[in-house]
Structure 1
Amino acid sequence: MDKKTGVYICTGCGIGDALDIEALSKVATKESKVPVCKTHAFFCGEEGVAQIKSDIANEGVNTVVIAGCSSRVNYDVFDFGPSIILERANLREQVIWCHPEDDEDTQMMAEDNLRMSLAKAAHIDIPEGYRVENMVKTILVVGGGLTGITAALEGAKAGYKTVLVEKNPVLGGWMNSLFKQAPLKAPYSDPEEVDIASRIQEAEANPDVTIYTGAEIKEIAGAPGMFDVTIEQNGSVIKERIGSVVLATGAVPYEAGKLEHLGYGKYANVITSQAFEELAKNGKIVRPGDGKEVQSIAFLQCAGSRDGNHLPYCSSVCCVESLKQATYLKEQNPEAAIYVFNKDIRTPGQYEKLYKRVQKDGAIFVRGDVTGITEDDDKNLLIEAADVLTGATIGTEGVDLVVLATGMVPTTAFGESLDAKSDDEEKEKEEKPQGDTIIRSNLLNLAYRQGPEMPTLKYGFSDSHFICFPYETRRTGIYAAGSVRAPMDALSSIEDATGAAMKAIQCIELSELGSAVHPRVGDLSFPSFAMQRCTQCKRCTVECPFGAINEDDKFNPLPNPTRCRRCGICMGACPERIISFKNYSVPMIGNMIKAIEVPEEDEEKPRIVVFACENDAIPALDMAGINRLKYNAWVRVIPVRCLGSMSLVWIADTLSKGIDGILLLGCKHGDDYQCHFIKGSELAETRLSKVAETLDRLSLESERVRMEQVSIMDYDQIPGILDGFAERLEELGPNPYKGF
């Protein structure tokens, strides 16, 4: 498109008092030859917005550069429609709020910010979203338990057809095995009748819910909006076209046979909480060993959970389930003796009221680790435990029955071994429950190059970004819900199912528009590949965290645009620079670097380019400004979608420009990852480690390039990071390429 650029410099919020606005205007009009350049006290106000809209309508301005506040604020105010290119130069949070007023260095910083924004705007083309052919809006729900039924119903209530697939002959899952359920409503002190039957009836009666029981997923191919799903039911094959998927296959109890130290398998009257539910359903709670009516009982909490030898995590529901089961025995025999051995009692939400009721009923809570269980001649069980606080040995006289509150293991932690063709990302060595090798469940059978099942977190739970958007997984359009995602009770599972269904709907609607899903909602761009230069190195397919790139029969990358999250990691991975977006590319950032003015060496004004992740680093920099934290004015901040999109060419361009240092600010990563694109920050760190040797070989100290991990809450560390790096650069001296 032929661009006509308008630059609008805001003087409000102290900008006009701190900066030479006339000099800023000359950067636009004299240096960049911008035809329209205006100032206003508050461009975010009604009058200021009207002025910009007037220039768009009457002057033909189609590229708007606003120099004022951060792009993270007033984004709704400065929305001029999809046909207008908009770029924001941050003069407020990252310049005047962090640096002294009427200062030469502050002015130079502001002018460079404007130059970089103009350079970026010059290389932006308006993206057109990828349009799915034969788009469908049906939601597939895998798993017919409480979570799956709820997700299917919520999707249908919102007006979307849903397909529910359950491997068992009947719906209901875990809830079918319960005598009563933990309370889902006030006063939360009394167990309730299990209501799964009514939920099943509601699903079966809903015309927008198609149910396949005794069925399994044989394959899911395609991408959001156009998944092709093959279902096998009783020997017949069914094909469904699907828009998005909710994985709700739940969890199973930890294998009690591995708890021999607690007497399971050795003594007939040591049973699991699941077996206790069966006893209660049968009408009278009796000992399995001899049929004697139970007069005393001991519940052993964390049986396999919070144990480094078994399940390291808390299984969330065990305490509440034991409290619920304690009421069964008290209703049968109010004089029964109840002991609850625990590390501590965890009753999330409103379940404290159930705990208080059981306390009031006379249950004795023993805070101690069970060290041994023996049996007397009458088959009564003797328990010894170490008191958590004192270390003293405590115990009970013989009890009739011991119930082990076993933990939960997600269904994603079981199944077939990894396909040998899976990439390195999927083969990474993760800690699995029960000491298992790396395994994948046979739940979705994805036709993805990256493997047939969902990536999992270190304990086998389905991958999700549990910090910022918990239902999102590494497979775009597939959302995890319920205890397959994290240990949770029924009430939490219902809420989780509703959230996942809403995310599945959002994905469908965004895919129809050609837009990205979280975290770049609204981005219509998608990567284009200059295939004539492709060397089939496979780095883009291997490093994409979302499985958005497969391969064709000639081993060329085969992108799936609706799987793409627009992170740009493929762009940073490509050594041939053949991948770009219409609004984000290697040349675009390169020209922003070139737009920076670098003072001569004798001026003693070093320059630092900060490549800052837009998800956490940019907000942290803004927060530093909001809190008026001061740091040196040598820095020039270039926002990037993700540090994983970093091209090593940018490092070469920056150093050859004579800039003295490069700082990469990215999201934190690790087991409890925060990187919004999962692997981006980690990949950037890996790539950077390979740059150090090259820099040293070129007589450029590798210390001139540094990476730091920050979260949005680390804003108070920003001055220390920037100033500490600046001090190190002063010790190293000027970039030897300065002036060339």
Structure 2
Amino acid sequence: MDKKIGVYICSGCEIGDAVDIEKLVEIAKEKGVSLVKTNASVCNPDFVEEIKNDIANDGINTIVIAACSPRVKTDIFNFPGCIVERVNIREFVAWVMEPKSDDAQMAAQDYLRMGIVKAEKTNLPEPWIGEDLSEEILVVGGGTSGLSAAIESSKAGFKVTVIEKEDKLGGWAAKWYKTTPTKYPFTSLEEPAVFKMIKEVEADPNITVLLNTKIVKTEGMPGLFDVTLNVAGEEKVKRFGTIIAAAGFTPYDVSKLDKLGFGISPDVISNVDFERMVRETGKITRPSDGKVAKRVAFVLCAGSRDPEHLPYCSGYCCAASLKQAKYVRDINDGVAYVLYKDIRTPSQFELFYKELQNDPGILLTKCEIKSVSLSEDTSLNVDITDTLLGDELSIEADLVVLVVGMVSNANQEKPDILNLQYRQGLELPLLDTGYYPDSNYVCFPYESRRTGIYPCGTIRAPMETYGCIQDSVGAALKAVQCMWHYERGLAVHPRGWEKSYPQVFMQRCTSCKRCTEECPFGAIDEDEKGTPFYKFNRCRRCGTCMGACPERIVSFHDFSIDMVNSMIKEIEVPEDDEEKLRYLAFVCENDAYPALDAAAFLRHRFPPGIRFIPLRCAGNMNLVWIADGLGNGLDGALVLGCKFGENYQCHYIKGSELCNYRFGKVGETLDRLGLESERVEMMQVQISDYVNIADILKGYVDRVKEIGPNPFKGF
């Protein structure tokens, strides 16, 4: 497009008190823009209307707003059909630098030049929209989570297919005798709600149920998932828009708990076997001789919160054990011993817990289990250490129930659930801990690393039945949202508004496989010759491939290697003033940038020589920017990326970690330039670091000052 650039400079919010606005106007005119205007409040509705008039009457189609952070007032500065570039001279200059100083003025001028050249290099995004897109949702699993997800998706107006590998719906919940209470006063056990859900699903004309069905393979991408189903031995292919994975859990293998007495007697059983006994017989008896069990000991956290077995809490066990203890009271009028490490009964279950605390036949003891042994009269002895009183106790029981946790069905040696045709594996990638499907588990809990596939219920995280119902609603809404996005060519989270997608100059591709291996979302496949190609509806526009590509052939309409290099060249580098060193800071837009904004709001002072360039993710950091920046005389370069490691929270999974890996090679680049490697650093920053990010920046600047100016200045 032929661009007519309009620059609009705000003097409000202390900007006019910090910098000379007229000098900024001169800078804009020197860059040859079509129009420059200033106002004390660029976001004022009257002035916004003036911008719209400039668009309509003067043909302005590229707008540069030099004002506040691009993270605010996004709805106000939205001009459809126009390129809009935001230049942050409020948070990055006016609020963090000495007013009317040379430093503040030079910073504002640099940012304005950088913003104008970025606008010049930006093109309007053109969305990629596939053909023959499906709007039908596939739900994998016919238990509580799957049924709830199907019902909610149908209510939203979408067709749904539910597949279940068994010959009937219901999953584990259909095998329960009773469920924990869900209605006030939360004291009485209830019939499993799953049976009502089954009837609702079977009566819904929008929902198709396929029993005895498994997935042979899943190909394609959101809107174009071609799924091969094996239905009772017969294969067929059907296209779906999105997939909800509700394949449930498997109880932890109780046979591994010999230290807790399993195997010494038939009367040491799992909580699953106990529930099955009550449901099938309506009785509580000893498997060894069929006698009524009047004394039942429940050993909670059997294998859970244990590094040798399951290191996590399964969430449902405490309330389910209290439910089973009530069985003992109601059916046998017996005594139930609930032996726990901790009791965890959140929300309404706390009322249920308090109700059972008042039952004289339910004895709750916080303890550590020492041993479970068989006595001479064939009863069982549970030896414990009461951790509240410090006493050593021995409990005689007719039946010992080991309360095992849950293992996600995604966490099996051969899960055989989705059979994805992805280079990076057949199933959903798991967290670093290896137990549950992976995504940003704080900001985007329903997402997986496979775009358009949403795990819910106990395949996603340990939870009880009520939690599964709530969780499946979230997954259904995400599936619907995903379909809304791909129909319009938009990315899903976290850049849910993004229309652009990777543009690849394939003539220079060397098939090095860096992009296919590093893409966090499996959006890049390879043909039979090993040449990469994109499946754009999988792509989340993080730009990791752009940072990975050694040939620098990947770009976006609004973000590219050349664009950032051009911005770097617009930074004015004083040649002879050792007090005015210049530093690049590449900042992740998801954590580091908002941390900087928050620090600016508190008026923390930033080192005046730093120029911030936002990145979609640290994963799109390309080392050529550092080489070119230092080669142009800048004195140092810093990358502020997300935390990574055991508790990482990168919005794009591994971006910051990949950047850190690439930085292992930056020393070679600097050696070629004859520069000290200490000039370049990568730091991990999370949004909560706004309280000390100014000190982090100052520490970096002080370290570079000790090294001295870049010897390339003036060349």
Q: Same fold (TM over 0.5)?
A: yes
SS at 1:38 equivalent: strand
Superimposed CA distance per residue, residues 23-45 of structure 1 (whole angstroms, 9 cap, x where no aligned partner): 11111112x11121111111112
The CA deviation at 1:703 is: 0.7
In 1, Cα distance between equivalents of 2:714 and 2:526: 45
Paired amino acid for 1:315: S
Q: Provide the residue aligned with 1:19 in structure 2.
A: 19
Q: Provide the residue aligned with 1:556 in structure 2.
A: 531
The CA deviation at 1:697 is: 4.5
Q: Is the 8 A contact 1:177 1:274 kept in 2?
A: no
In 2, Cα distance between equivalents of 1:341 and 1:459: 29
In 2, Cα distance between equivalents of 1:389 and 1:631: 52
Paired amino acid for 2:79: F
- Match 1:198 to one of 196, 209, 224: 196
- Match 2:425 to one of 451, 466, 474: 451
Instruction: Note the 1:717-728 alignment, pairs <5 A.
Output: 717-728=692-703
In 2, Cα distance between equivalents of 1:524 and 1:477: 17
Q: Say whether 1:91 aligns with 2:66.
A: no
The CA deviation at 1:185 is: 2.9
The CA deviation at 1:460 is: 2.1
The CA deviation at 1:188 is: 2.3
Q: Is the 8 A contact 1:464 1:480 kept in 2?
A: no
Superimposed CA distance per residue, residues 155-179 of structure 1 (whole angstroms, 9 cap, x where no aligned partner): 1110111111111111111111100
Instruction: Note the 1:48-447 alignment, pairs <5 A.
Output: 48-81=47-80, 83-281=81-279, 282-334=281-333, 336-362=334-360, 363-389=362-388, 391-396=390-395, 398-416=396-414, 441-447=415-421
- Match 2:455 to one of 476, 480, 484: 480
Q: Is the 8 A contact 2:627 2:669 kept in 1?
A: no
Q: Is the 8 A contact 1:659 1:738 kept in 2?
A: yes
The CA deviation at 1:102 is: 1.5
- Match 2:658 to one of 683, 687, 707: 683
SS at 1:50 equivalent: helix
In 2, Cα distance between equivalents of 1:681 and 1:383: 50
Superimposed CA distance per residue, residues 82-130 of structure 1 (whole angstroms, 9 cap, x where no aligned partner): x100010111122211122122111111111111111111110001110
Paired amino acid for 2:295: S
SS at 1:369 equivalent: strand
Q: Is the 8 A contact 2:222 2:242 kept in 1?
A: yes
Q: Provide the residue aligned with 1:34 in structure 2.
A: 33
Q: Say whether 1:468 aligns with 2:443.
A: yes
Superimposed CA distance per residue, residues 537-562 of structure 1 (whole angstroms, 9 cap, x where no aligned partner): 01111110100000112211111011
Q: Provide the residue aligned with 1:434 in structure 2.
A: none
SS at 1:726 equivalent: helix
SS at 2:323 equivalent: helix
Q: Say whether 1:512 aligns with 2:487.
A: yes
In 2, Cα distance between equivalents of 1:391 and 1:655: 65
Q: Is the 8 A contact 2:182 2:348 kept in 1?
A: no
Any gaps of 5 or more consecutive residues in structure 2?
none
Q: Provide the residue aligned with 1:585 in structure 2.
A: 560
SS at 1:89 equivalent: strand
SS at 1:468 equivalent: coil
Paired amino acid for 2:547: G
The CA deviation at 1:602 is: 2.9
In 2, Cα distance between equivalents of 1:188 and 1:100: 61
In 1, Cα distance between equivalents of 2:467 and 2:42: 45
- Stretch moving more, 124-133 or 292-301: 292-301
Q: Say whether 1:522 aligns with 2:520.
A: no
SS at 1:148 equivalent: helix
* TM-score calculated relative to the size of structure 2: 0.98
SS at 1:683 equivalent: helix
In 2, Cα distance between equivalents of 1:249 and 1:107: 59
SS at 2:426 equivalent: coil
| Count of residues paired in the alignment | 712
SS at 1:293 equivalent: coil
SS at 1:169 equivalent: coil
In 2, Cα distance between equivalents of 1:698 and 1:51: 49
- Stretch moving more, 11-20 or 144-153: 11-20
In 2, Cα distance between equivalents of 1:384 and 1:320: 23
Q: Provide the residue aligned with 1:420 in structure 2.
A: none
Instruction: Note the 1:575-724 alignment, pairs <5 A.
Output: 575-602=550-577, 604-724=579-699
Sequence identity (%): 50
Superimposed CA distance per residue, residues 673-724 of structure 1 (whole angstroms, 9 cap, x where no aligned partner): 2000011110000000111133134321111110111111111121111000
SS at 2:376 equivalent: coil
Paired amino acid for 1:234: A
Paired amino acid for 1:657: N
Q: Provide the residue aligned with 1:732 in structure 2.
A: 707
Change (3 A) 1:27 1:603: farther
Q: Is the 8 A contact 1:268 1:289 kept in 2?
A: yes
In 2, Cα distance between equivalents of 1:79 and 1:63: 12
Q: Is the 8 A contact 2:264 2:373 kept in 1?
A: no
In 2, Cα distance between equivalents of 1:369 and 1:149: 39
The CA deviation at 1:512 is: 0.7
Q: Is the 8 A contact 2:292 2:332 kept in 1?
A: no
The CA deviation at 1:671 is: 2.5
Paired amino acid for 1:465: N
Any gaps of 5 or more consecutive residues in structure 1?
417-440
In 2, Cα distance between equivalents of 1:694 and 1:650: 11
* TM-score calculated relative to the size of structure 1: 0.95
The CA deviation at 1:415 is: 3.5
CA RMSD of aligned residues (A): 1.2
